[in-house]
Amino acid sequence: MRNLLMLSVCLVPSALVCQTPQTSPNVPPGFVDGSKNPSLIPDTAAYRLVFISLILPPSPDSTALARHSALIAQVGLSAADRAAMENALAAFGESYSAWRASALPASVDNGVAALVQQYQNLIFSTLSGDGVAKVMKFVQNAKTRMVVRP
């Protein structure tokens, strides 16, 4: 099950960057194709995948920095909201890495949903109302490019 989540994670970042066509011809049985049914993608899964796609790797190279900058720019945040979002994403990245290092392989969600919710709450409490609305819209739009197993 954990491998399936990682497959979904690998699909989302490139889909967010490349703006792939709104069809997914090879969706495995039991998965939800966001291009056809975005409302069936759980918000928890969508925020998890978006946050993962927006974090920087440790010691990022120029390509990773450019990719990150392009993705974050798509959200359309003000400079102040972007700085707050960047800080929250950096903290999320550290916590997510620690979770991955300690998570049991047999379980996809042994704490990650709570972790994502914690950082979603942090982001929503530090951004302006306009910034929160833009993040929410970005996540909802990203659902159309996701394939997840609920």
Pairing of strands 32-33, 147-148: antiparallel
H-assigned helices in 25-128: 43-54, 62-75, 79-102, 112-126
**How many angstroms from the chain centroid is the CA of residue 123?**
13
Which residue stretches of the chain have pLDDT < 50?
A: 1-23, 106
In tens, the pLDDT along 61-84 reads: 999 999 999 999 999 999 999 999
Helix (H, G, I), strand (E, B) or coil at 32: strand
Q: How many domains does the chain have?
A: 1
- Residue type at position 40: L
Domain that holds residue 58: 2-148
3 state SS of 33: strand
